[in-house]
Structure 1
Amino acid sequence: MRERPIADALREELYDWRRWAARAVVLLFAALSGLSVVALTWLGELALEVFYAMQTRAWWSPLLWTPACTAFVVWAVRRWCPSAAGSGIPQVLAALEPGLPPEERRRFVSLKLSLAKILGTAGSLVAGLSVGREGPSVQVAAGVMHHARRWLPDRTAINEHGLMVAGGAAGVAAAFNTPLGGVMFAIEELTRRPEHRSSGLLMAAIVLAGLMAVSVYGNNAYFGVMQVASLSWSLLLPGLLVVLLSGLLGGLFSRLLIRSLTGQGRDRFSRWRQRYPVRFAAGCGFAVALIGVASQGATLGSGYQPTRLLLEGQDTTSALYVPLRFIATWLSAWSGAPGGIFAPALAIGAGIGSDVAAWTGHPAATALIALGMVGFLAAATQTPITAFIIVMEMVDGHTMVLSLMACALLASGLSRLLGPSLYPQLADHMLGPRQQAHAPTAPGDTLSDTTLPADRQ
């Protein structure tokens, strides 16, 4: 094959205005998607400060405030933007389904949904629910990036699929200040069919979105930096116990969420949720508040503060922290309020590691906490590489790289024995009836035969 002269290649590169215009549009919207996640972060932190200030003044206030606020948020979301409920990652996966009509895709990602997701997630946090802002960041950033398609020139190699993948990954990158984590999330969860002609540009967009968050909040790890001493073989048995507990509990958590959020349960509470969703949300909010009061506030909110204290060696949690946070996070997700599970999952994993360190008396508590965080997050989401990178960014040095990677892979493997991956199952549930009615099934794709989502019942 004859190679083109260098001069011709340079001329094509420099004088193709459509290529440069597409690059400019993608990078501009990447910066905007990063700033949208910064806005979500700022508003979420402000919401948590308001809630904690109220709780400090009156310990009993969550018993009234949390159910009322949760009911209002769920009512408002169902009234105006039903697809803004829940995590946001399943919505992006649903929007990425091949053959989905444009009008259906806009039900899952759009600028309107991004704004609604920011406000709804802030409402869930000000209510004191055990939710995070990382999953919502994926839907927010994907909606902003998806809007870039209107400004791209004709005959560009970049399509909606690539923009949404880049946006979703940019959400993770900006939320955790880990551009590499965003890239791996795109590869591991959002797509397995990278677009070769534009992948370099889209990777640059992911990094740029992450840099927007770094420019505002600084180059700091999400939970701070963990100082881990050199490891020894004495950590093997406690570490294996952490892997076992985090893998089994994470798999159980994922299975519980799938059954709850897809309406597979036939119990009284599932029927109540379908018939009276706002009342059910209020009941979930009251249960979360009751658990929070019983735990002296440790299970209320995203779990950032208790996890930060655990990593600093200040264990203020009770022996029941892990099961109480587990239940509070499940109920918060089941309520239908906007919010993700990444931060609460990391908090549960940190509690598992701290408990194992206390049971075994092992001095390397920080190392076990790090293993618990990566293990439970990997098991709950079945994205081991993403979980490994997110937690690895918090560890000072490379002492635990292999240990964290092994823990993530083993815990995720245990989770798969208990059930399928969480986000694809929820995405299939959202798509099932719509996809069967509007678009043909691509070869190799399978869609679950489930009931209509709660917003359509």
Structure 2
Amino acid sequence: MPKLKFKHKRILAKIRHNRWVQTITYFGHYYYEKSVETNSSLKKQFFQSLPFLFAAAITGLVAVLYALLFNYAEHLSFYILDLNPYLIFIVAPICFLFSWWVTKKYSPNSKGSGIPQVMSVMELKNHQKGHASKLLGLKIIFFKIISSCIKVVGGGISGREGPTIQIASSIFYLVHKYLPKWWEPISQKNMLIAGASSGLAAAFNTPLGGIIFAIEELSKFHIKYYKSPLFIAVIIAGLTAQGLTGPYLYLGYPKVSASGFKVVLAVLLVTIVCGYFGSRMCVVIFKVMGFFKRIKKLKFQALFVVVSGLFVAAFIYWMGVDAMGSGKEIIETRLFTDNKHVEWYLPFVRMNGLIASFSFGGAGGVFAPSLSAGASFGALTAQLLDFTGQNANLIILIGMTAFLTGVTRAPFTSAIIVFEMTDRHSVIFYLLLGAILANIIASLVDKKSFYERLKDNYLEEISEKEKSSTFTPKVQD
């Protein structure tokens, strides 16, 4: 290669030391470094988001399959009742017994709704993290689905929405657990919050409800620390579910109206009634669960479960399909037909059936049954005050919101879920008013929410197991 002549070197030196050339070089180097840094940041964000995308897609798929299986089980129970009403006195005890036995023997922490288990995992201390695998995991998913569907076949008053939350959290937990060691570190709490929210969003097709549920019920820290994975998980799970089932509203588009001062009085009345009974029902469930827990002998526990099945069967034989399942048909009938009539005892039958179906320990949720109980109270209130049509529909929606708030103590979640189920923008303020007032009434009945009490029970059990495992008795010489 020929050497540069001296005059050429002088020209290059002048160019190199030129102010404009130096400025261009400086900014070129600066933006190059920035682009490298940006690309590195984008790569990091992509790898951090990938587990959320993957887990959310699986959640949407499992939520749809679970919904189909649950609906099939519910229609099978209706078919059995139509075939011969007396069969329910055989089928209900057997199904209740199997639902209880399969959780007790193979997966004790898959019992109930599943929301308290998720809340418990999120509050585990660092030295207790090993217990998370007992509250979430593949075994939980399988037996949660089996136990809840069998209970519904027997006519149990139960829902799939709470179980879907535990199932979704288990999926996210497993994805986080099996990430390679070289993967970008991801917070387990963020994964669980995103999982629970995406589960609720996929179960009800209510993405905003899932997000509000995470903020109101699960999180103890600011949303800015988990907003991106939360939104990603909710959107992907919802889109997956909609891709398989098509876009839909859980309840449809009921016609509502709020005309006259009398409607406001009706809203206040149904809110107070539903807030009180929602919370009171949870107090009774908790006491019955405590009684069942004190029964030590297995045969007496089995007898309690059989009696619970017969108790529910008696209601079903007396009232038919209104006394069984999630109660979605009750809501749809009152909202979308002219038949707003309910017997005065229907909401109490629904509540007592839920107490009997939930308390013995089989898997199953309280979300949908709470909505149907609230709808029954709303229809009864509208009936007593001579409301019909669109005004009656408003009272029914307020009843659903208030009763769910009384159970969950999550007023904004309850209001947003009912709002998204029906797409009724015009009554959102009535729903929020009913939810907040119901929350105040429920707090007067019991300061702690139902889920919070169950969560405390799980945490106490974990602490007791730790104490018993670390205790070593002294050996006398």
* Contact 1:170–1:210, Cα closer than 8 Å, also in 2: yes
* Contact 1:306–1:347, Cα closer than 8 Å, also in 2: yes
CA distance in 1, matches of 2:358, 2:160: 13
| TM-aligned CA deviation for residue 95 of structure 1 | 1.1
Which residue does the alignment assign to 1:297?
321
In structure 2, list runs of 5 or more residues that go unmatched. Answer: 1-28, 468-477
* Contact 1:254–1:381, Cα closer than 8 Å, also in 2: no
Bigger mean CA offset, 4-13 vs 86-95: 4-13
Which residue does the alignment assign to 1:193?
221
CA distance in 2, matches of 1:15, 1:316: 63
Letter in 2 for 1:75: W
CA distance in 1, matches of 2:250, 2:180: 34
| TM-aligned CA deviation for residue 156 of structure 1 | 3.0
> For 1:56-455, what aligned pairs fall within 5 Å after superposition?
56-99=82-125, 101-149=128-176, 150-151=178-179, 154=182, 156-194=184-222, 196-261=224-289, 263=290, 265=291, 271-272=294-295, 276-313=300-337, 314-315=339-340, 317-363=342-388, 364-419=391-446, 420-435=448-463, 438=466
- Pick closer, same or farther for the CA change 1:438–1:49 going to 2, 3 Å: same
CA distance in 1, matches of 2:432, 2:466: 41
Letter in 2 for 1:372: G
Bigger mean CA offset, 406-415 vs 94-103: 94-103
Letter in 2 for 1:426: L
Letter in 1 for 2:48: A
Letter in 1 for 2:361: G
Letter in 2 for 1:344: P
Q: What do the CA deviations read for 1:355-380 (whole angstroms, capped 9, x no partner)?
A: 01110102311000000000000111
Q: What do the CA deviations read for 1:153-175 (whole angstroms, capped 9, x no partner)?
A: 54635221111111111111001
* Contact 2:47–2:184, Cα closer than 8 Å, also in 1: no
SS of the residue 1:297 aligns to:
helix
**How does the TM-score come out when normalised to structure 2?**
0.86
Task: Answer with 1 or 2: which has the greater Rg.
Answer: 2
- Pick closer, same or farther for the CA change 1:310–1:273 going to 2, 3 Å: farther
CA distance in 1, matches of 2:373, 2:93: 23
| Structure (1 or 2) with the greater helix fraction | 2
* Contact 2:216–2:413, Cα closer than 8 Å, also in 1: yes
* Contact 2:63–2:203, Cα closer than 8 Å, also in 1: yes
* Contact 1:304–1:343, Cα closer than 8 Å, also in 2: yes
| TM-aligned CA deviation for residue 188 of structure 1 | 0.8
CA distance in 1, matches of 2:37, 2:301: 58
| TM-aligned CA deviation for residue 425 of structure 1 | 1.0
- Pick closer, same or farther for the CA change 1:45–1:202 going to 2, 3 Å: same
| TM-aligned CA deviation for residue 49 of structure 1 | 1.5
| TM-aligned CA deviation for residue 230 of structure 1 | 4.7
CA distance in 1, matches of 2:136, 2:82: 37
Bigger mean CA offset, 181-190 vs 428-437: 428-437
SS of the residue 2:323 aligns to:
coil
Letter in 2 for 1:177: N
| TM-aligned CA deviation for residue 197 of structure 1 | 4.7
Letter in 1 for 2:40: Y
RMSD: 2.1
- Pick closer, same or farther for the CA change 1:67–1:10 going to 2, 3 Å: farther
Bigger mean CA offset, 366-375 vs 280-289: 280-289
CA distance in 1, matches of 2:38, 2:223: 19
| TM-aligned CA deviation for residue 233 of structure 1 | 2.1
Q: Post-superposition, which runs of at least 4 consecutive aligned residues in structure 1 deviate over 6 A? A: none
> For 1:41-60, what aligned pairs fall within 5 Å after superposition?
41-60=67-86
Letter in 2 for 1:146: Y
Which residue does the alignment assign to 2:13?
none
* Contact 1:86–1:340, Cα closer than 8 Å, also in 2: yes
- Pick closer, same or farther for the CA change 1:8–1:132 going to 2, 3 Å: farther
Q: What do the CA deviations read for 1:287-334 (whole angstroms, capped 9, x no partner)?
A: 011111111231111111111111113346422101111100111111
CA distance in 2, matches of 1:55, 1:273: 34
* Contact 1:158–1:198, Cα closer than 8 Å, also in 2: no
In structure 1, list runs of 5 or more residues that go unmatched. Answer: 440-457
- Pick closer, same or farther for the CA change 1:301–1:346 going to 2, 3 Å: same
Percentage of pairs with the same residue: 28
